[in-house]
Structure 1
């Protein structure tokens, strides 16, 4: 039997992942209401897209009727908001709900909504901050952006067994079904997907979320709460019309296929939603090789209201971002069991080596995804 505390952490993680990718520029907040005596879950909710209900409101509105006053404890991943924005303050709805006798939150809000703790305490509601649930894996991008540091980067790279990312001048698929499914899961729960100029020209990248046909085993366990929830949820309930990440393309100044690519992106937007954003290094942004590029890119993405951005390559973009990576940024290395030659490279092809920092990073752990192995970790602070 799972202890109530473990069930609570699992429920908060599950609701957090439901919110991730759908709430920017707002935080992906989770809320779970439990019975004070037994710890049994009474209600739960995740923050809805901008303009919708906050997690606390969703959870409160899911509660059964007839609860005794003070019989419930509201757990929320982020300090409840205390200001009037597009929606009323969550603190007031909490105070108007007699069943809630205590509020527990797991991260302070640095944004405009801060002050919820003080407001609840002033009104006589028992409120405290706890560290028993790690909200960082889910709220880290929002908290980073609100501190003026821009969004959190999630760098994903596929490599051959011998450490190459492809060959010069033509596309070569390195990943098999398991790794491809993982990439789609990331797209489904992050705010945006970004590719560099070389990848755009070579692949004509679409970057839309497309549910994969391969279901990753949900019994996999990692050392990472975000990945655990991602793999546990899989593609259950995900629909391409329910969510699409922003699709961000770093376009070279002279890109012959730009018009056709924009037309395809317009079709994708019309069919499944989302938006395409084009940025040009050397024009909209500093040159890719310049020292100012990574900071400027992160600031621009933050100005777009993005909390978590998936970076899918290529090598030039990853190398440019290396010097900007910092606390909380995440790395995912998908290593094939096959060498570049075994994956289809010809003898006269020029191999493209993977960035050394992606190969040499001290990852937190790894797991098998079919015939590929995923290495995952975070950058040190």
Structure 2
């Protein structure tokens, strides 16, 4: 919902404001940064502007909303609205640090808005402290009642992102492309292509926003992938994820993924060991990794699991997958290689429970003849 689309909306109270901000937040993509939405209201409750965070490196929700507010005032046939009389509503406490963008607190202070309400506190890590900074500058800043925030959906926006951040690890996305009967390859091993071109383009769009793509040595030896992010025409994008191989078998000297600027081989099958190596920035087993990951920083903030069933099952079984894109093709193979194998799950009570995720394209969307199911871990 754009600023133009919400121009005639009026809120009745904090819960309405947050629900609208949550709807904005869900337009964003998950990854290294949380989903955040913001709206600005007039004293009579009229919504004047909105914004959401579109992904790392882009304007934060507050900054986008403030830009919309300024644009609304400039184009208004009346005298516009005094920022000091307006209220900024945010799903997450504004940041007070400089990363790939500047502190949201500085943008809020410069805007002239004097009243800020947020739903979820962010008290830990480098992103916290924004509310205290604004209060110290004399603004009226408050956290909305927890029950109102819960009913509006704000409390459910980023639990896995917060878990990843507080655990000191990157956010983990996984891909799984399969037939209707859950197969990723036929009996003879053929698998290209189970899904159609639209699904593959979406998969490339996800590749374009991650810092690393993780596969197993089996995938390297069988498919010899480059693991690059490409545009719709098949051209490599300027920013590329770091290929990461997990497993004890050697990576061939002529492997395609060696052709990039950097790559990493972690000679272990344990996903936690892989994460520990990535967050430590360690150079393992004589391989190389760039000193600075894409998007800046010295460690990845977002990784993608693209390995085969063994690798994906290990990450799913370890509870380390935060987000799953399941590309469901209209094919029935009858037999072949299953997409997941979790032998330790021997009864229904052992099942992994995922939840449909409304972020980005929505929980269920059509990609050509395929269906994309977007899941979040609980």
- Return the TM-score normalized by structure 1: 0.67
When residues 44 and 164 of structure 1 are mapped into structure 2, their CA distance, relative to the original with a 3 A threshold, is closer
When residues 72 and 12 of structure 1 are mapped into structure 2, their CA distance, relative to the original with a 3 A threshold, is farther
Match of 2:46 among 33, 39, 46: 39
Is the contact made by 1:187 and 1:310 (CA closer than 8 Å) also made in structure 2? yes
Other-structure match for 2:109: 95
Match of 1:186 among 199, 203, 206: 206
When residues 96 and 42 of structure 1 are mapped into structure 2, their CA distance, relative to the original with a 3 A threshold, is same
- Structure 1 segment 137-152 matched on structure 2, within 5 A: 137=157, 139-140=158-159, 142-152=161-171
**CA shift digits 1:74-122 (9 cap, x unpaired):** 2334322345778765434423432x12212233222124222223234
The answer to whether residue 194 in structure 2 is matched with residue 198 in structure 1 is: no
When residues 202 and 11 of structure 1 are mapped into structure 2, their CA distance, relative to the original with a 3 A threshold, is same
The answer to whether residue 315 in structure 2 is matched with residue 308 in structure 1 is: no
Alpha-carbon shift at residue 156 of structure 1 (Å): 1.8
Other-structure match for 1:126: 140
When residues 356 and 83 of structure 1 are mapped into structure 2, their CA distance, relative to the original with a 3 A threshold, is closer
The answer to whether residue 276 in structure 2 is matched with residue 299 in structure 1 is: yes
RMSD after superposition? 3.9
Match of 2:178 among 137, 159, 163: 159
The answer to whether residue 332 in structure 2 is matched with residue 339 in structure 1 is: yes
Alpha-carbon shift at residue 299 of structure 1 (Å): 2.9
Is the contact made by 1:193 and 1:248 (CA closer than 8 Å) also made in structure 2? yes
**CA shift digits 1:96-154 (9 cap, x unpaired):** 432x12212233222124222223234432223342353754x5554233312522322
How far apart in 2 are the matches of 1:171 and 1:313? 14
**CA shift digits 1:14-65 (9 cap, x unpaired):** 3x43xx55xx5x6565554444435333464648866x87554555456246
When residues 103 and 58 of structure 1 are mapped into structure 2, their CA distance, relative to the original with a 3 A threshold, is same
Match of 1:112 among 109, 112, 126: 126
**CA shift digits 1:200-249 (9 cap, x unpaired):** 22222233333448xxxxxxxxxxxxxxxxxxxxxxxxx97475444433
- Return the TM-score normalized by structure 2: 0.67
The answer to whether residue 22 in structure 2 is matched with residue 9 in structure 1 is: yes
How far apart in 1 are the matches of 2:51 and 2:239? 21
Alpha-carbon shift at residue 174 of structure 1 (Å): 1.3
- 5+ residue gaps, structure 2, are 11-16, 75-79, 281-297, 346-350, 357-363
Other-structure match for 2:338: 353
The secondary structure found in structure 2 opposite 1:70 is helix
The secondary structure found in structure 1 opposite 2:138 is coil
**CA shift digits 1:292-330 (9 cap, x unpaired):** x1222233344463333221221111222233115x722
Is the contact made by 2:22 and 2:91 (CA closer than 8 Å) also made in structure 1? no
Alpha-carbon shift at residue 189 of structure 1 (Å): 4.3
Is the contact made by 2:86 and 2:114 (CA closer than 8 Å) also made in structure 1? yes
> Which structure would you say has the larger RCO, counting Cα contacts within 8 Å and 6 or more residues apart?
1
Is the contact made by 1:188 and 1:244 (CA closer than 8 Å) also made in structure 2? yes
- Structure 1 segment 199-238 matched on structure 2, within 5 A: 199-212=219-232
Other-structure match for 1:280: 266
How many residues are treated as equivalent by the alignment? 318
Other-structure match for 2:82: 68
Alpha-carbon shift at residue 278 of structure 1 (Å): 1.7
